[in-house]
Amino acid sequence: MFDKLDQIFVTALHWLVGFLPEAWGPYVSPLICIAFILSVFPGLFALVTVIERKGLGRIQNRYGPNRVGPFGFLQFAADGVKALIKEDVVPRAADKLVHFLAPVVLLIPVLLTYAVLPFGKNMVLADYDAGLLFFLAVGGAVEVSVFMAGWSSHNKYSLLGAMRAIAQMLSYEIPLILSAVTVVMMVGSLNLSEIVKHQDHYTFGLAHWHVFTPWGLAGFLLFIVASLAESNRTPFDLPEAESEIIAGYFTEYSGFKFALFFLGEYLGMFAIAGLGITLFLGGWTAPFSCLTWIPSYVWFLGKLLGIVFVFIWIRGTLPRLRMDQLMNLAWKFMLPLALLNIVVAGIWHYMGPDWQHMRWLVCSAILAAAYAMLGLGLMQNQKLGKRVYKFAE
């Protein structure tokens, strides 16, 4: 019974395709899966926007949305209607074609990344052997759309915001990819389904998730920090620093075009969180063998919402970094630590299970020492001291 519940969406897909001629199956089946993705994740985006605003309100001791619908949970509908009917203003000097295409070019690559993510057992649209490579390559196209938006607006604040965003994304993309390399080394495959299956076994009831190893924990933390920066989330939201550059690369966007940027940013956050779950948190697998009766897609969705909750918590807690602090963290701390983590993963592999306790000690000691040394070096460069407030004369 539990297996039938776990495979209910796969069974439903086969049932629907069964009504059509056999020759149509290979074409209709992907279309149904695409329709499912296009309905679930934008719906999740709408729900998360309300939850985030209410969560931030709770953190900041205010109510948040509470007027539209029960407990304010239809606020996303009011925001959507406003975005649709709001006037679309395009600057006279803007490159109108590029200005129009920028949000579309942002949204399409983000949606393509969902094709290779395994949402549950046997639930992946395109099970490529190089699925991880496809995800990273397609996701890299977002930088192009950001530059298109900033340059086509013919606004110095938009262009400055685009340059900031591109510098930030390129800087943090390197440690993000390097943190994923350790998983590829251990599994020996770029296939995301194979990476999940590699973690789908248990010892004494506990799953063999990669995060439960020294190199996996370090890689996961590096991945999460880099994900925050790639998604322009606090404390890395400098591309849209209102106090400095108004709203960054989408300053000159309004109405539905702005809503597409907003949608693309959240869908990108969901996608990169899903990749982190797949690489380090066992994907759709359960943490304990006694909980494997819960459907696999429920585990994936629960982990995804858990990471999104952490992102919201961070946004309500941490202040925005300065640009020099942001770049120093990427190049002077995260990049060296990510490179060292690859070496640590190699040490873990070649020491083998016969040296189980020793390799835990050696790998943990190397990472802890590197973290302390790099952290001290980064803090010394900040020249922190007592703040002195002066009034202008």
pLDDT along the chain (393 residues), means of 10: 80 85 84 89 90 89 86 86 83 85 89 92 89 91 87 84 87 94 93 93 89 95 94 82 69 84 90 95 91 92 94 89 87 94 93 86 94 85 62 57
- Rounded to the nearest 10 degrees, the angle between the axes of helix 25-59 and helix 296-315 is 40
Domain count, the chain: 1
Q: How many residues does the chain have?
A: 393
Neighbours of 393 (CB within 10 A): 3
Determine contact, residues 353/303, Cβ cutoff 8 Å: no
Q: Supply 167's token pair.
A: 């510098």
Token pair 């973290």 is found at 371
Q: Could you give phi then psi for residue 298, rounded to 5 degrees?
A: -70, -40
Strand partners, 299: none
- The pTM of this model reads 0.91
Determine contact, residues 184/145, Cβ cutoff 8 Å: no
- 324 found inside a domain: yes
- 42 found inside a domain: yes
- 10 found inside a domain: yes
- 165 found inside a domain: yes
The predicted pLDDT at position 390 comes to 66
- Domain span at 14: 2-379
Sign, CA dihedral 301-306-311-315, equals positive
Nearest to 274 by CA among 123, 79, 75, 80: 123
- 391 found inside a domain: no
Neighbours of 213 (CB within 10 A): 22
User: If DSSP codes are grouped into helix, strand and coil, which group holds residue 29?
Assistant: helix
- 385 found inside a domain: no
